[in-house]
A and B are shown apart, each in its own frame.
Chain A
Amino acid sequence: MMSWSPLVLSLETAVCATVLTFFLGIGLAYWVLRLPHGQSMADALITLPLVLPPTVVGFFLLLIFGKRSFIGGILAKADFSLVFTWEAAVIASFIVSLPLMYRTARGAFEQLDGTIVAAARTLGISEWRIFWHILLPNAKSGIIAGLVLAFTRALGEFGATILFAGNIPGKTQTMSTAIYAAVQANDYDLAFTWAIIIGTFSFVFVTALNLWLRHNRQGASSWN
């Protein structure tokens, strides 16, 4: 009888990573758009985990949080090590899925006509109210799309996770790392089962997103 723990761990890490990604991705998108200088640099830095090999991200995470690093040293003094823990799996998924949320949120904010924000300002509306009552509601579709992309990416995260969080069954082994372990152990049936489960999850989420977006679309934006 196979253990369901990789499924549970995958969902747990993906949900936690997506919650972090959701708030930070939107916050960063808003922050970068309002930067007077250095937008390109900030944008590139946040987008980097999307284009780098996940192993490079995992390696950097090891360097930053490892025992020999500054942060790792501080954590070690508190008798805590991040490497090869469940928290490390969350951080890895978070870093890798952040660019997807950030970019889609930023694109959605940019879609809104700048004069609408300018008009709100001249009408005395505070920046805080503009964000919550004008920017967010008008960027809703984009933000939901970013959320689903980030979640499915976090769910399938492998490279950074295996380097930074390891592949410890029952502790840090997620569905994607379980597939790797199964293939290594020549257990193709198990690998196939996980592959089907993760594929189904992702397909259902993305399809649900598409249906929702189609339902919310105003006017035809289909190309046929």
Chain B
Amino acid sequence: MELTVNLQKKLRHFTLDVNLTIKDEILALLGASGCGKSMTLKCIAGIERPDSGRIVLNGRTLYDSSKGINLPPQERHVGYLFQQYALFPNMTVADNIRFVAVGTKAEKEQAVLENLHRFHLDELADAWPRELSGGQQQRAAFARMLASRPQLLLLDEPFSALDSYLKWQLELELSELLKSFGGAALLVSHDRGEAFRLAERIAVMQNGDIEVIAPRHELFAAPQTRAATLLTGCKNISAARRIDEHHLEATDWHLTLTSAAPVPADLRYVGIRAHYLEARDASGENTFPMEARQVIEDTFSMLIMTAASSEAAAIRWETGKDIWHSLEGHPLYLRFPPDQLILLTR
């Protein structure tokens, strides 16, 4: 199963410009809301029309502006799971599935029974969509989508309509379903954890551009761009300037840091994740006296906003409650582990 996408579409605030290939894998499109993720899915499904480009699924051209090809959604065989699930309100769960199933009458009944069973919907077969909980609606929508035998799955923020407890339950289920589907899937999300847990590769989108596509571990270890760094959950980013091979100046933080990795000449930003900072008793290599500006108690940790001086930008530090309490009354020194600095050139 292979999908190649090349599309351009002018939107109100920016131009969508997407280039990607998926092959038998789950790819997550990670980006802030309004960055063009959903529009990309809609163009692939044929709900929206790009201005130009080419979309090919398993050798079938779905869209090609140069050849004037634009298949209607009905002929694309692309499953789309909508944020609000979009079940047909005038049909029961079983009828929703029966209505889209393909084949002879017997095959359709078979598809209904199979999918009801597979999604634990047997007891809800005769229920109306309005009677279902969010999670049940999602399962019904998923069952219906698979009954139409799609060659590719598009999942648009599949958990956004659910509360956090249900979210986790469904994420577990969805991850199983995606594995059993076996084909390619494109998942749109603004939640880095969700993207990391469900997808093998992650594409970071910003203002209509795909900034980075990388295997998930690689992306979180070395996010490459400022937007990708923020989206992967790094809270601390400072403008930066190279001093020499292993030294740099973090200009927002008013700190001179040592990096284990060689510093690129065109360095622009440096980042460090809040939980990688380490408390120390005294100054040392990459260890500086810091002032705590604000202390916030979180559920299971402490969040401390610290800075090197009163003019410097704040740095967020996350640490265990026990560590923080053991430090009380002592001057604070923080170490920036040289191998944990994220060096960014764009």
- For B80, what are the chain A residues with a Cβ–Cβ distance below 8 Å? 118-119, 122
Closest A residue to B45 by beta carbon equals A122
Please tell me if the beta carbons of B144 and A122 are within 8 angstroms of each other in the complex. Answer: no
Please tell me if the beta carbons of B88 and A120 are within 8 angstroms of each other in the complex. Answer: yes
Which stretch of A25-33, A133-141, A175-183 is in the interface? A133-141
- For B239, what are the chain A residues with a Cβ–Cβ distance below 8 Å? none
Shortest distance between the CB of B304 and any CB in chain A (Å): 44
- Does A218 touch B at the CB level, under 8 Å? yes
- For B260, what are the chain A residues with a Cβ–Cβ distance below 8 Å? none
* Inter-chain residue pair count (beta carbon < 8 A): 59
Please tell me if the beta carbons of A126 and B86 are within 8 angstroms of each other in the complex. Answer: no
Please tell me if the beta carbons of A124 and B148 are within 8 angstroms of each other in the complex. Answer: yes
- Does B84 touch A at the CB level, under 8 Å? yes
Closest A residue to B102 by beta carbon equals A124
Contact with A along B123-154 (1 / 0, CB 8 A): 00000001000000000000011001000000
* Complexed CA–CA distance, A134 and B87 (Å): 11
Closest A residue to B149 by beta carbon equals A124
Contact with B along A181-224 (1 / 0, CB 8 A): 00000000000000000000000000000000000001000000
- Does B74 touch A at the CB level, under 8 Å? yes
Please tell me if the beta carbons of B90 and A123 are within 8 angstroms of each other in the complex. Answer: no
Please tell me if the beta carbons of A124 and B77 are within 8 angstroms of each other in the complex. Answer: yes
How many residues on the B side are at the interface (Cβ–Cβ under 8 A)?
Answer: 27
Contact A138/B89 with A122-B80, A125-B100 known, Cβ cut-off 8 Å: yes
Can you list 10 A-B contacts (CB < 8 A)?
A116-B87, A118-B82, A121-B46, A121-B47, A123-B145, A124-B74, A124-B148, A125-B99, A133-B88, A134-B90
Please tell me if the beta carbons of B74 and A121 are within 8 angstroms of each other in the complex. Answer: yes
Closest B residue to A218 by beta carbon equals B130
Contact A123/B148 with A138-B89, A138-B90, A218-B130 known, Cβ cut-off 8 Å: yes
Of residues 130 through 159 on chain A, the ones whose CB sits less than 8 Å from some CB of chain B are 133-134, 137-138
- Does B338 touch A at the CB level, under 8 Å? no
- Does B264 touch A at the CB level, under 8 Å? no
- Does B195 touch A at the CB level, under 8 Å? no
- Does B93 touch A at the CB level, under 8 Å? no
- Does A40 touch B at the CB level, under 8 Å? no
- Does B202 touch A at the CB level, under 8 Å? no
Sorted nearest first, the 7 A-B pairs with minimum C-beta distance are A119-B86, A121-B73, A123-B100, A137-B90, A122-B80, A123-B148, A115-B86
Of residues 20 through 44 on chain A, the ones whose CB sits less than 8 Å from some CB of chain B are none
- Does B79 touch A at the CB level, under 8 Å? yes
- Does B34 touch A at the CB level, under 8 Å? no
Shortest distance between the CB of B145 and any CB in chain A (Å): 7
- Does B262 touch A at the CB level, under 8 Å? no
- Does A79 touch B at the CB level, under 8 Å? no
* Complexed CA–CA distance, A60 and B82 (Å): 49
Please tell me if the beta carbons of A123 and B144 are within 8 angstroms of each other in the complex. Answer: yes
Please tell me if the beta carbons of A116 and B88 are within 8 angstroms of each other in the complex. Answer: yes
- For A118, what are the chain B residues with a Cβ–Cβ distance below 8 Å? 42, 45, 47, 73, 80, 82, 86
- For B272, what are the chain A residues with a Cβ–Cβ distance below 8 Å? none
Please tell me if the beta carbons of A115 and B73 are within 8 angstroms of each other in the complex. Answer: no
Interface centre among B46, B72, B86 (most CB of A within 10 A): B86
Contact with A along B29-65 (1 / 0, CB 8 A): 0000000000000100111000000000000000000
* Complexed CA–CA distance, A32 and B74 (Å): 22
* Complexed CA–CA distance, A118 and B43 (Å): 12
Residue from the list A119, A121, A137 in contact with B72, Cβ < 8 A: A121
* Complexed CA–CA distance, A125 and B73 (Å): 9
Interface centre among B42, B89, B144, B148 (most CB of A within 10 A): B89
* Complexed CA–CA distance, A123 and B77 (Å): 7
Please tell me if the beta carbons of B86 and A113 are within 8 angstroms of each other in the complex. Answer: yes
Closest B residue to A219 by beta carbon equals B130
Please tell me if the beta carbons of A116 and B86 are within 8 angstroms of each other in the complex. Answer: yes
Of residues 67 through 107 on chain B, the ones whose CB sits less than 8 Å from some CB of chain A are 72-80, 82, 84, 86-90, 99-100, 102
* Complexed CA–CA distance, A125 and B148 (Å): 9
Q: What would 8 more interface pairs be, CB under 8 Å, given A118-B45, A137-B90?
A: A113-B84, A113-B86, A115-B82, A120-B88, A120-B100, A123-B144, A138-B89, A138-B90
Shortest distance between the CB of A128 and any CB in chain B (Å): 11
